[in-house]
Structure 1
Amino acid sequence: MDLGTYGFPTPTAKNIISNYDAPEGVEVRGRYDAEFAKILTKDALKFVADLQREFRNHIKYALECRKEAKRRYNEGALPGFDPATRYIREGDWICAPVPPAVSDRKVEITGPVERKMIINALNSGAKVFMADFEDALSPSWENLMKGQVNLKDAVAGTITFHDKGRNKVYKLNDEIAKLFVRPRGWHLPEAHILIDGEPATGCLVDFGLYFYHNHSTFRRSQGGGFGPFFYLPKMEHSREAKIWNKVFEKAEKMTGIERGSIRATVLIETLPAVFQMDEILYELRDHSVGLNCGRWDYIFSYVKTFHAHPDRLLPDRVQVGMSQHFMKSYSDLLIRTCHRRGVHAMGGMAAQIPIRDDPVANEAALELVRKDKLREVKAGHDGTWAAHPGLIPSCMEIFNNNMGNAPNQITTMKREDAAKLTEEDLLQIPRGVRTMEGLRLNTRVGIQYVAAWLTGSGSVPLYNLMEDAATAEISRVQNWQWLKYGVELDGDGLGVKVSKELFGRVVEEEMDRIEKEVGKDKFKKGMYKDACKIFTRQCTSPTLDDFLTLDAYNYIVVVHPVELSKL
């Protein structure tokens, strides 16, 4: 692949001119579409550019701080509570009151910003739908811009979808879930939009376009005078929350709405962030509605943070559940922190999907979901996540039965026992075995997810679970770590060490299995071979890349030349 300026692919051979009416210093290099142009207006692009220009140096500094922290961890340091911010952790401050419109968040459903998905999720019976520009979305130009069009229609209440195959029209019910939007993380660029010659920051594009077009309509239709509402991913330090708070303040000021109108929930999905929960809430205290246990990314982050620590190898990913001490401690501390500060403590994802052709297996999967949700509500979580509408009734029943008519448990479950949790509790090494089947599953899931991602799908059902970028990342970094340290496998692989030679055989055998499972025609048409190369390269690289999707992003960027008269 020919990589041009900034490390992204050079324009395609198709001489399609991008004719968006962009303000000075902004270049839109994505395909022109009349519907997209209604989103990419001159004023909306100027709004995004103003955010980019004010905050890009702050973002670059925050990302450099991440690199410095990574260097310390690689040299043997461990994450921990910052003595300099003890006054914040020990202070009696609270966040702004939770808006009535989102006081009840017992069950939230998540998914990409695809048109039919948005309608079904808003109609699902969940209290909240988190529309995802991040881990559940492959960030192609088409997906991103169609997503903005879809959300604008959803906020306006006019969104419909005609499924021609079923001859069925989908539209919104009278009662729908509250809409939250998750933009991309700070680290992800948007190569199709250049601002002053640099790729825009992906999250500012996602946030800026959505907020600009929808803030006033949303506040009337869904927010009860508040909003829009957001989920914020991948933070590692409160300085990153401070940037978001400044972005919110600037957006409110630029549009003339009251300070504190925008509200956001932060996903605690990196290991360093668990030691910064009070500080993150403090920075966002006028704009916060809580924290969420992003547990799949959290497992990924544990491996990534300790990838240079051979004494901290994880067992098979299926064994790293909430019963592991470091995971339970993380959940308990999050609940205590949120309730002490007056905001929601949201639980983690139920990734199971209905198994329609096997009622016995389906019931067994639902029972696992029920047990997990019962654990969450009894621990004190105010709500939970589900990946599929079919799980909503079971999850809702568990929370309603244990919470009654109360919208949340903020004032009733203080969890002061969690105040005794230490750094050692949060860092305890997980217990379990590492097996050949674990290596195979990681490889099989990782390759299939990357193949789907390259062809436009960021949320993929595999082996009765909904996989997204977070679970694929666990597969990647675990393989990398096992290869790096020549892990000796347990079980049937007893005495066998993971090596490049062994991994090469596993990749070959799993590719054969994938071809049989998906069928030869689909295998040939899909990008499985490209995905295999990307995933294998990432697993065998001498140094661990921060994110799988940053490498794969080069494969989905398609830029078009801009008419010179527009520059």
Structure 2
Amino acid sequence: MGYDVPEGVDIRGRYDTEFSKILTRDALQFVTDLQREFRNHIKYAMECRREAKMRYNNGGLPGFDPATKYIREGEWVCAPVPAAVADRRVEITGPVERKMVINALNSGAKVFMADFEDALSPSWENLMRGHVNLRDAVNRTITFHDQARNKLYKLNDETAKLFVRPRGWHLPEAHIFIDGEPATGCLVDFGLYFFHNYANFRKVQGQGFGPFFYLPKMEHSREARIWNNVFGRAERWAGIERGSIRATVLIETLPAVFQMNEILYELRDHSVGLNCGRWDYIFSYVKTFQGHPDRLLPDRVQVGMAQHFMRSYSDLLIHTCHKRGVHAMGGMAAQIPIRDDPAANEAALELVRKDKLREVKAGHDGTWAAHPGLIPACMEVFTNNMVNAPNQIHSMKRQDASELIEEDLLQSPRGVRTMEGLRLNTRVGIQYLAAWLTGAGSVPLYNLMEDAATAEISRVQNWQWLKYGVELDGDGLGVKVNLDLFGRVVEEEMARIEREVGKEKLNKGMYKEACKLFTRQCTAPVLDDFLTLDAYNNIVMYHPIESSRL
């Protein structure tokens, strides 16, 4: 047996009867039409990214584009926010795993962002099962029987609104070839989900609007323009009114912070705001300034929202969104409950409350949580400070942020660089990558939920410190980071990982493979753009005889 595919399409992933209900001929034709119409635009956008990287590596800085000043200074606004998603006080995020989908929709959050991106290892099985799970969730037929606990999970009568995050423009889908080349991952994610769910979604979830999306990793408004055209094409195909599809863009790259007005302008008929994707933003700061030895990052635990460049980024995002009439969403609370230590758990919750109070006082309309256990605390803070209002779009105007200049957004972060920072980066990076290689894209480590974004910070910071021979502070005072030191740290942290997870698990898992891959990435002469792009080939599994044309 094989999948029934249109002309020019080759499915190289494993055949499965349930997957074939997602990969129908008509659904694949829809994805193929998107790929053929937009692939050259995507290739051009990626080439522009490479050209910008060359400028930054040669000493250039990102900044506001003089050619689009008229957009930044114009008085336009985005389309009104649909009532169905006016209240987004707390949003929970997570991978499209079946039990996770049910629990997240039942969590009490206002929105669940089902993630095909940083929280998912994009294996064929994960992706296809994810589409099955979301189809069942939209149809409200999704259930999960936990045999170990003999417990049946199903949806409550009232659930969170569903948003879906496809992959970024840069990621291929190597299990689906269209006209001899891998499909664009985000067009596969968007196309399959939209094709199968837009009609039922609008009845069950959207009250005449939707589906709703989160869009990651953009660097320029030209990339938003492609998404806007993809949305328009999908709406015309489906026969639904323009502006039905709505999306929030994650501002999680340093170049994009200078393009926020332009991004909203391109998506003005389809936008419901911007989000502070702060972990990826830190990663992007290092990646953008990889050729700038005067902009070295301190330990990642010190790079919080109190840093001037981070606070400026948040303030400008709020000002921009509210000026344009859409949501300004806050960042992720990555803590997870510490069940065996009530005092430590309460201390962690108090940090979450303080962070969320800062966000709501600054003007954010909602925030993210990585775990259902954080939702009550986050919800309480936002509810108490947004009395009788679902958001602050029209009540909180940050005119002071309009005075922010480029240097505010580029200021070097302050702090120390320590041996413990190097060790933590190494330990977290290896363990996350080991989990990712075995199919888990969201991993609890040391009381935090780690995903690809936080693993990227670990990787690029190690790379930066090695490249510039950083002299460590604290206990490592006077010690410079070099290949010999890093090799010793890797060896010692692998020994610690073995003690923590056990020798049997270490040997059965992908820890040794992850160690080799992470070490190679940290010591490479040229920084790879994405850790997961390099690692992707390790999870691609071809079954080339599975396609057929019936």
TM-score, length of structure 1 as denominator length: 0.96
Mapped to 2, the partners of 1:183 and 1:561 lie a distance apart of 25
Aligned residues of 2:89 and 2:365 also touching (Cα < 8 A): yes
Residue of 94, 112, 130 corresponding to 1:129? 112
Code of the residue aligned with 2:44 in structure 1: it is: Y
Mapped to 2, the partners of 1:51 and 1:429 lie a distance apart of 41
**What secondary structure, in the 3-state scheme, does the structure 1 residue paired with 2:504 have?**
helix
Where structure 2 has 5 or more consecutive residues not aligned to the other structure, the ranges are none
Mapped to 1, the partners of 2:123 and 2:194 lie a distance apart of 20
Residue of 436, 443, 457 corresponding to 1:460? 443
How far the C-alpha of 1:524 sits from its partner, in A, is 1.0
Deviation readout 1:342-392 (Å, 9 max, x if unpaired): 000000000000000000100000000000000000000000000000000
Q: Which residue of the partner structure matches residue 516 of structure 1?
A: 499
Code of the residue aligned with 1:425 in structure 2: it is: D
Code of the residue aligned with 2:205 in structure 1: it is: Q
Residues 165, 25 of structure 1: CA spacing in aligned structure 2 closer, same or farther, 3 A cutoff? same
Tell me whether 1:321 sits opposite 2:304 in the alignment. yes
How far the C-alpha of 1:562 sits from its partner, in A, is 2.3
Q: Which residue of the partner structure matches residue 213 of structure 1?
A: 196
Residue of 283, 287, 296 corresponding to 1:304? 287
Q: Which residue of the partner structure matches residue 66 of structure 1?
A: 49
Deviation readout 1:57-90 (Å, 9 max, x if unpaired): 0000000000000000000000000000000000
Mapped to 1, the partners of 2:544 and 2:113 lie a distance apart of 34
Residues 275, 64 of structure 1: CA spacing in aligned structure 2 closer, same or farther, 3 A cutoff? same
Code of the residue aligned with 1:186 in structure 2: it is: W
Runs (4+) off by over 4 Å = none
How far the C-alpha of 1:521 sits from its partner, in A, is 1.3
Aligned residues of 1:85 and 1:279 also touching (Cα < 8 A): yes
Mapped to 2, the partners of 1:86 and 1:164 lie a distance apart of 59
Mapped to 1, the partners of 2:546 and 2:123 lie a distance apart of 22
How far the C-alpha of 1:236 sits from its partner, in A, is 0.1
Kindly report the root-mean-square deviation, in angstroms, between the aligned alpha carbons of the 2 structures: 0.8
Mapped to 1, the partners of 2:548 and 2:459 lie a distance apart of 45
Deviation readout 1:316-343 (Å, 9 max, x if unpaired): 0000000000000000000000000000
Mapped to 2, the partners of 1:434 and 1:393 lie a distance apart of 35
Q: Which residue of the partner structure matches residue 252 of structure 1?
A: 235
Residue of 202, 206, 215 corresponding to 2:185? 202
Mapped to 1, the partners of 2:473 and 2:349 lie a distance apart of 30
Q: Which residue of the partner structure matches residue 407 of structure 2?
A: 424
Mapped to 1, the partners of 2:9 and 2:271 lie a distance apart of 31
**What secondary structure, in the 3-state scheme, does the structure 2 residue paired with 1:78 have?**
coil
**What secondary structure, in the 3-state scheme, does the structure 2 residue paired with 1:290 have?**
strand
Mapped to 2, the partners of 1:270 and 1:329 lie a distance apart of 14
Question: How many residue pairs end up in the alignment?
Answer: 550
Aligned residues of 1:95 and 1:288 also touching (Cα < 8 A): yes
How far the C-alpha of 1:564 sits from its partner, in A, is 7.9
Mapped to 1, the partners of 2:300 and 2:382 lie a distance apart of 27
Mapped to 2, the partners of 1:181 and 1:563 lie a distance apart of 28
Q: Which residue of the partner structure matches residue 173 of structure 2?
A: 190
How far the C-alpha of 1:561 sits from its partner, in A, is 1.8
Code of the residue aligned with 1:79 in structure 2: it is: P
Mapped to 1, the partners of 2:173 and 2:240 lie a distance apart of 28
Mapped to 1, the partners of 2:162 and 2:64 lie a distance apart of 34
Mapped to 2, the partners of 1:335 and 1:531 lie a distance apart of 39
How far the C-alpha of 1:563 sits from its partner, in A, is 5.8
Q: Which residue of the partner structure matches residue 4 of structure 1?
A: none
Q: Which residue of the partner structure matches residue 266 of structure 1?
A: 249
Residue of 84, 89, 94 corresponding to 1:111? 94
How far the C-alpha of 1:566 sits from its partner, in A, is 3.6
Tell me whether 1:442 sits opposite 2:429 in the alignment. no
Mapped to 2, the partners of 1:503 and 1:149 lie a distance apart of 43
Where structure 1 has 5 or more consecutive residues not aligned to the other structure, the ranges are 1-17
Code of the residue aligned with 1:514 in structure 2: it is: I
Residue of 393, 396, 419 corresponding to 2:379? 396
How far the C-alpha of 1:452 sits from its partner, in A, is 0.2
How far the C-alpha of 1:310 sits from its partner, in A, is 0.3
Aligned residues of 1:27 and 1:562 also touching (Cα < 8 A): no
Residue of 445, 470, 490 corresponding to 2:453? 470
**What secondary structure, in the 3-state scheme, does the structure 1 residue paired with 2:21 have?**
helix
Residues 185, 565 of structure 1: CA spacing in aligned structure 2 closer, same or farther, 3 A cutoff? closer
Code of the residue aligned with 1:444 in structure 2: it is: R
